[in-house]
């Protein structure tokens, strides 16, 4: 059997549009973090991987390998056909696992033996992770100014920023990357991202914005769900030019209702309330509980804004050393227009 040739992560990134990527790790590993554009053709399911790992620890490598062979053998024809079809669309096909070890080597060897030439990623996805960490450290050294959009909960900040992103402005959609809106209710209806997954998406976006002279972000806490923001973004937020969006209270209530869809995500909303309840005033918590029993979600949102989130965030805004530029708007379209007007005054316009 021919020796499987290896390819570096730098070469894979440089030729990404010409390379088909095959991730042979378990679905759980793939979901937590994978190279963008890769497809998952797993050797083991999540349960099978856990069983093999337990055998390795308790009975040793030989027994674990024997069991692994029994599990994988029936899957090989389907795996081969899946990879072969995928490979037709690319100049090269690269197989990877976690460290560039047995899993990817075994699959690449079989593919090559069957006449479908593949390469093995040197160092596995761990080499990609090292590249991301190194590049983020380099991005952290850049001295680009930040434009920060803040406002009370429901002020349509995210929608305004996403509209600006579509227009070509250098927006970092931190909540989108995190798969979380930031509060204890922030995961409702969303799929929270892992730290590695978030940093991969951030890395991709920062590479896209390499020529941008500044970044635009929403004012976020250091933690968004499971994700911790890099220190350079926190510093950018604290020292950036701030715009405070003022949005009508009832429209904020409506915006939150539409974003969280409480009738569709009733269980998740109530579960988040239970987690938060111990931090609430007992009388307030009881009033919210009564509204939950009546399924009066507009009242629940109004109560949380008036008695919890608005006081909480109004206090946080006072921690900044400088004043924000206030923009009173009544729609996303107006918010976008007002911000574009202000950015124009600062000569911060999107590149053509």
In the chain, count H helices and then E strands: 17, 11
Nearest to 226 by CA among 265, 270, 196, 261: 196
Cβ contact 222:154 at 8 Å: no
Pairing verdict, β 223-224 and 227-228: antiparallel
Sequence-ordered alpha helix ranges (H) in 60-123? 61-72, 76-87, 102-113
Kindly provide the b/e burial profile for residues 293-324, where b requires at least 16 CB atoms within 10 angstroms of the residue's own CB: eeeebebbbbbbbebbbbeebeeeeeebeeeb
- Cα Dmax for the chain: 74
The DSSP result for 3-21, as a single string, is: PPPEE-HHHHHHTGGGEEE
* HSE of 273, CA atoms in CB hemisphere, 13 A: 23
Nearest to 20 by CA among 117, 98, 90: 90
- Rounded to whole angstroms, how far apart are CA atoms 211 and 13? 19
Q: Cβ atoms within 10 A of the Cβ of 69, count?
A: 10
Task: Estimate to the nearest angstrom the gap between the alpha carbon of 217 and the chain centroid.
Answer: 15
- Rounded to whole angstroms, how far apart are CA atoms 342 and 70? 65
Catalytic status, residue 116: no
Indicate which residue of 79, 87, 97, 216 is catalytic: 97
The residue to which tokens 């909480």 are assigned: 312
Q: Which long-range contacts (CB under 8 A, 24 or more apart) does 56-64 make?
A: none
- Rounded to whole angstroms, how far apart are CA atoms 291 and 286? 9
**Beta bridge partners of residue 224, listed in sequence order:** 227
Q: What residues are labeled active site? A: 97
């Amino acid at each position: 059997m021919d020796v499987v040739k290896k390819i570096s992560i730098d070469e894979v990134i440089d030729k990404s549009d010409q390379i088909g990527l095959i991730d042979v790790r378990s679905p759980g590993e793939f979901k937590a973090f994978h190279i963008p554009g890769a497809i998952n053709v797993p050797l083991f399911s999540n349960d099978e991987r856990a069983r093999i790992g337990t055998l390795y620890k308790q009975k040793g490598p030989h027994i674990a390998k024997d069991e692994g062979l029994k599990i994988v053998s029936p899957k090989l024809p389907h795996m081969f056909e899946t990879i072969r079809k995928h490979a037709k669309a690319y100049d090269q096909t690269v197989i990877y696992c976690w460290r560039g070890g047995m899993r990817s080597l075994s699959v690449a060897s079989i593919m090559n033996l069957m006449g479908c030439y593949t390469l093995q990623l040197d160092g596995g996805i761990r080499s990609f992770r090292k590249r991301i960490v190194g590049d983020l450290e380099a991005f952290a050294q850049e001295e680009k100014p930040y434009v920060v959009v803040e406002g009370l909960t429901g002020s349509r900040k995210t929608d305004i920023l996403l509209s600006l992103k579509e227009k070509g402005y250098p927006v970092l959609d931190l909540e989108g990357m995190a798969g979380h809106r930031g509060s204890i209710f922030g995961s409702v209806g969303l799929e929270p991202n892992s730290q590695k997954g978030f940093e991969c998406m951030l890395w991709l976006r920062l590479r896209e914005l390499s020529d941008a002279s500044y970044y635009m972000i929403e004012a976020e806490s250091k933690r968004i769900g499971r994700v911790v923001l890099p220190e350079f973004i926190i510093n950018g937020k604290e020292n950036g030019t701030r715009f405070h969006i003022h949005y009508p209270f009832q429209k904020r209530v409506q915006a939150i209702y539409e974003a969280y869809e409480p009738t569709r995500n009733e269980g998740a909303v109530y579960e988040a309330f239970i987690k938060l309840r111990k931090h609430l005033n007992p009388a307030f918590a009881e009033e919210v509980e009564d509204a939950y029993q009546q399924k009066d979600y507009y009242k629940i949102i109004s109560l949380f804004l008036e008695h919890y989130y608005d006081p909480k965030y109004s206090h946080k805004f006072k921690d900044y050393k400088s004043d924000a530029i206030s923009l009173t708007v009544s729609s996303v379209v107006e918010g976008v227009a007002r911000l574009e007007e202000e950015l124009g005054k600062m000569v911060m316009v999107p590149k053509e």
